[in-house]
Chains A and B, each alone.
Chain A
Amino acid sequence: MAGLPGSLVPSPFRVQRVRRETYDTFTIELEPANGADGFPFAAGQFNMLYVFGVGEVPISISGDPTKRQTLVHTVRAVGTVTQALRRLKRGDVVGVRGPFGTHWPVEEAVGSDVVVVAGGIGLAPLRPALYYLLSNREKYGRIALVYGARTLQDLLYKSELEKWRSHLDLEVEVSVDTAAASWRGNVGVVTTLIPRVQVDPFHTVALVCGPEVMMRFTVRELESRGIEPEDIFISMERNMKCAIGFCGHCQFGSTFICKDGPVFCYAEIQPFFAKREI
């Protein structure tokens, strides 16, 4: 098993598969290299992935929490470490510290409707929550996934989205900012889909993840639908380094994203959520 939460020592994991999602995003599957028996985590948590000799980055876990033998991360290759991760091949070894941080309140949401709003690569940290919700479908009311991306080429998990669409008990709304005429889905920014979602706003829990500006406008729409700040949960991101609230790089107002987040109840961070320079 990987280092316990709080550990600064990475555990070795072997690359099983690297799958391209979009032109700059890929999904990497890892298995313990030391014979450890699985990797328990909760939906919404993240790991620190260490490419030896290059560096370490915080990456949300995007796999199924019930499949503990395989650790899945979806990564956008934008920096030195993430680009090095993309170059890894089956059999290569990386270091993993984690899991860290808070998780989506999927158990607390039992009995409620759930609306999942994702923007861009923000679908990756939400996918474990979707797996959980769908594998415990009978415990929830209506479930809706609202997902927006810039173009069709930027959509993650296309085949899975198609599969989810075929679920009669899951409402899936996908929107892109612009598309060719052959696209049969929605065109428009993701927030325009929120008024259409079939949920009871007084008994709904909202899980939101995406770039901060998208989350800000999404929260406004959710509130205008009548969903209370206490029922809105968002996943924040800052420059996380130690992942245990020690170095202070990811301070966000009076909290540290790495240990008090990344998943926050919106009501708790509302006072400083939209403030600049925080």
Chain B
Amino acid sequence: MTMETLERMLTEHPFFKGLNKRCLQLLVGCASNVRFNAGEVIFREGEEAGLFFLIRHGKVVVETFAPNRGPIVIQTLRDGDLLGWSWLIEPFRWRFEARAVELTRAIALDGTCLRGKCEEDHELGYELMKRVAHVIEDRLQATRLQLLDVYDSVRS
């Protein structure tokens, strides 16, 4: 796959919408194209979080395991979503497991490579942090609603 194709994929992904060309070119060096078959584990809880993924097509579940309950799905991610932010936050270990539930194509970004580039280029770092913060905010809001148990109301 050419660098031009990868750059186009990054440009088209919602996560990098509006990012300038210079920053995109810096990112391309850390990116690769990946695919996961249905049922394939993408990462496991406790493993080193070296990569993160921008889902292009497909469906991925984030899950954990509880004794007596088995695997529990916490969230479903699909086209246009970002998978994983543990690469950005110490100790760089995955907190949950991720598994493709259907054929999934994604762009993998090398977290170590990206952190290095962000340290060197603060414009890139700030752009990336803003985007990750937005994703974290969305997920936090969704988690709050799940905690609110919004469907638990008397209504007929």
Contact = CB atoms under 8 A, between A and B. Distances in A.
Nearest to B77: A188
B147 to A, nearest CB: 9
B150 A119 contact: yes
Contact of A210 (B70, B99, B142, B151): B151
A188 B75 contact: yes
Interface in B62-79: 63, 69-76, 78
Given A179-B73, A189-B145, A211 B151 contact: yes
A76 interface: yes
A180 B70 CA distance: 7
Given A186-B76, A188-B75, A189-B142, A124 B151 contact: no
Contacts, number: 95
Interface stretch (A30-38, A106-114, A134-142, A148-156): A148-156
A178 interface: yes
Interface of B: 61, 63, 69-76, 78, 99, 101, 138, 142, 145-146, 148-156
Nearest to A216: B150
A59 B151 contact: no
A60 B99 CA distance: 41
A211 B155 contact: yes
A74 interface: yes
A196 B78 CA distance: 10
A219 interface: no
A57 interface: yes
B71 A180 contact: yes
